[in-house]
Amino acid sequence: MELSKLLSEFLQLYTGPGLTLVSFGAATLLPFSSEAALMGAIWSGLSPGEAVVWASIGNCAACAFNYGLGYWFGKRIEKKISESKTYSAWADKMSRWGYWALGFSFLPFVGDPITVLSGFFRQKFWIFVLVVFSLRVLRYLALAYGVSL
């Protein structure tokens, strides 16, 4: 069975919790579209407000998971790569521009790797949560408002 058809059926059966799981998967490096799932849930009868809440829970939880993965891997391999010029250059860039990079964390394709890198370079988690979660929720609010017009 095709993945998109399977996800569509899953959403119809489990609506809110299904939207949370699909949104979680979409915020990892898996090729899901939480935006399509949000629109599908609204078109299936879930209120826009509920859809935003369910999608935000899954998507934000996955962003925190991505941060944790980056943090964990960073601690494991930092000693091995700390002598590398490439690592030093990226660490320097992230210390200067890393928090600004979080402003792009809601974008498709580049956003999820940014959340992993944020953990890898150990950015402050409270700033990460504030910026990333706000942008993800605002994206869903704009989409839900646009769909429900």
CB–CB of 26/36 below 8 Å? no
pLDDT category at 1 given cuts 50, 70, 90 is: low
Sign of CA dihedral 113, 116, 120, 125: positive
Q: Which of 2-6, 100-104, 130-134 has the highest mean pLDDT?
A: 130-134
45 Rama sector, left if φ>0, alpha if ψ -120 to 50, beta otherwise: left
Domain boundaries, the chain: 3-147
**What is the reported pLDDT for 76?**
82
**What average pLDDT does range 56-69 have in this prediction?**
96
Give the per-residue pLDDT at 66: 96
Helices (H) and strands (E) in the chain, counts: 7, 0
Q: What percent helix, strand, coil does the chain show, rounded to 5?
A: 80, 0, 20
Q: What is the pLDDT of residue 75?
A: 81
**pLDDT surpassing 80 at residue 2:** no
pLDDT tens digit string along 5-57?
666 666 566 678 888 988 999 888 777 788 888 988 888 888 999 999 999 99
| Rounded distance between C-alpha atoms, residue 83 and residue 104, angstroms | 29
Is pTM beyond 0.85? Reply is no
pLDDT tens column, 66-121 = 999 999 998 888 777 777 778 777 777 777 888 898 999 988 888 888 999 899 98
